[in-house]
Amino acid sequence: MKLLVDAMAQGDPQAADVWTPLTFFIALIVLESVLWRGSGWFGSRVIVKTCADLRVDLFHYLTGQSMRYFNRQSTGALGARISATGASTNSILSTLTWNVTPPCVDFLGAIVVFLIIDWRMALALVIFVGLVATLITGLGIHGRYRHREFAAQSSRINGEMVDLIGNVWNIKAFSARERERERLSHEVNIEAASHLRSWRYVERMRILHDICLWFMSGTMLFWALWLWHQGAVTAGDVVVVSALTFRILHGSRDLALALVDISQQFGAIADTLNIIGQPYDLTDPEPPKSLVATSGAIDFKHVAFAYPNARAVFQDFSLTIPAGQKVGIVGPSGAGKSTLVTLIQRLDDPQSGRVLIDGQPVNEVDQDSLKAAMAVVPQESALFHRSIMENIRYGRPEASDEEVRAAAWQAWCDEFIQTLPDGYDTMIGERGVRLSGGQRQRLGIARAFLKDAPILVLDEPTSALDTHSEREIQLALNDLIKGRTVLAVAHRLSTISNFDRIVVMQQGRIIEDGSPGELRRQGGIFASMWRMQSDGFIAETIPAQQ
């Protein structure tokens, strides 16, 4: 543009060579467009792939946390944080590529051109832009806590929303729509207030930056016109100064706002990493060592365990379960039954003592190999919003369709699966909501059949079922326990009536241990529990009240 204006300013249109600078100018416009489109194609591929990898890596790290960690966190908020971090990273990389780099390149180019015109202008531009950039960046860093506070509130609201939607039955059953609306409104207003504080801080920075731009642009343009009036520069130089000044000023505004936006996005990422990036409670040994489970013998040796800020569950607890033995664990609530199951799966570590499987301490082998050695049927089988085939196959992904169907047949669920619209390809809804409790539980047993692990852990698998469903599941369990070491926690004693051994626990101690027949004859706690469940609680208590 300088060359074009200087050629036009010569006064003789016929003698002026305007076509060369015009051709050069048009060529540069074409080149700039090509470079922008190239950066768009290449940058989009890199940024999209990077953000996808980041979310997968965050999820993978998150799933390595202990169950204690998940009990402390809102699962909805964790999922929202991973998604928000992917979006924030996308914003940061996009901003760096298309909003930070171009103004920096413009600035460096402007310095070179200004040095040709007047080195003092170049120096002034460097100093002024440096001061403005330092001021805006400093203010951006100072305001990070506002952006981080907003990110934390936003994640919390997302988790709250997931929790409310997941408990919509309770909201309807207890006529709580208006109550929950008011509660959510209060929480959302807190989030909106933190968002407003973050937004207003950014607006104050923009006002300050605009004032700096007005001063700088006016000063540079006045200086260029004064030099032209003195004959020190040409009209083309004035065009260069004015055009570049405005370009640099607008670019610096974009740059400052981009840096503020990046600061906000880093606040969101910092909030996520502060929660998800916590060190693991349970770690695998280094170098990794796999469990070699041959027979499935289980040993608890002098175990002491207490939950954080709670009383001790076990103190010097010992229990040996030989390979192939079927052991039922019974006792009142708080006796330590569920903790026993937790320690076997190494969902927690004892403070002292050891838990061994086939003579190998569970804390000295990697957790994946430990989980592979056992099949677990919990009180309520956890199912995915996937097909029945995929849910049963989850324990052994390489299993064939025929093996899946065989496992379903063994678990007494092939019959009801065949009545579904799409059979084994039926999608069962989130957590299996389209199935009854008994059907979900039988799918969990089918999954355990298919996994075919040497150790079977049953954690009250029939306690939430009706009598008919319990009978069907009991038949399936009778086949499942054959040839395995079984540890079963049960409130319904019918589940373990044919087991080799019953262990009765109370306050973290073993108070009775023997076969079901022996314990019934002894007339102790187990015998009392057996009479209540076999004769009926009402029949037992009415004579006492009379």
Convert the pLDDT of each residue in 129-153 to its tens digit: 777 777 777 776 677 677 677 777 7
DSSP assignment letter at 387? B
| CA–CA dist 159, 163 (Å, integer) | 6
Cα gap 520→271, rounded to integer Å: 57
2-276 fold? ABC transporter transmembrane region fold (1.20.1560)
Quickly tell me which residue has 């929950």 as its tokens.
180
Where do the H-state alpha helices sit in 143-176? 144-166, 168-173
291-373+457-464+485-546 belongs to CATH 2.30.110.10: no
Going from N- to C-terminal start, the domains of the chain cover 2-276, 291-373+457-464+485-546, 377-452
- Residues 307, 313: contact at Cβ < 8 Å? yes
| Entry pTM | 0.69
DSSP label at residue 114: H
Cβ atoms 438, 473 nearer than 8 A: yes
Same fold? 291-373+457-464+485-546, 377-452 = yes
Give backbone dihedrals phi and psi of 13, rounded to 5 degrees, phi first: -60, -30
| Calpha distance 186→74 (Å, rounded) | 19
360: three-class secondary structure by DSSP: strand
Return the pLDDT at 262. 81
Q: What is the DSSP string of 172-186?
A: HHTT-HHHHHHHHHH
Q: Which residue has the higher pLDDT, 319 or 159?
A: 319
Please tell me the number of Cα atoms within 13 Å of 3 on its side-chain side: 10
Distance CA 542, CA 520 (A): 22
pLDDT single digits (tens) 391-419: 888 878 888 989 989 888 888 888 888 88
pLDDT above 80 (res 9): no
Report pLDDT for 301: 92
8 Å CB contact between 63 and 79: no
* Angle, alpha carbons 305-492-546 (nearest 5°): 110
Q: Would the pLDDT of 176 be above 80?
A: no
* pLDDT tier, 15 (very low <50, low <70, confident <90, very high otherwise): low
Q: What is the mean pLDDT of the chain?
A: 82
Residue 379 CA to its chain's centroid (Å) = 25
Which pLDDT value is given to residue 229?
A: 79
In the sheet that holds 352-357, the strands lie side by side as: 312-321, 298-306, 352-357, 360-361
Q: Select from 391, 407, 417, 418 the least CA-distant residue to 479.
A: 407
Lookup result for tokens 């973050």: 198
- Mean pLDDT value across residues 360-378: 87
Closest CA to 472 of 449, 444, 439, 500: 439
Query: Is the pLDDT assigned to residue 541 strictly greater than 50?
Result: no
Token pair for 58: 């965050």
CB 360 within 8 A of CB 520: no
β-partners of residue 514 are 502
Q: Do the strands 455-459 and 312-321 form a parallel or antiparallel pair, or are they unpaired?
A: unpaired
Q: Where are the alpha helices (DSSP H) in 428-500?
A: 437-451, 467-480
Q: Are strands 312-321 and 298-306 parallel, antiparallel or unpaired?
A: antiparallel
Helix, coil or strand: residue 462: coil
Mean pLDDT computed over 189-202: 82
Contact 217, 249 (CB under 8 A): yes
Q: How confident is the model at residue 318 (pLDDT cuts 50, 70, 90)?
A: very high
- Domain 377-452 sits in CATH at 3.40.50.300
Got the DSSP string for 289-331? -----SS--EEEEEEEEE-TTS-EEEEEEEEEE-TT-EEEEE-
Are 241 and 221 within 8 A, CB to CB?
yes
Residue the block writes with tokens 């852990």 = 457
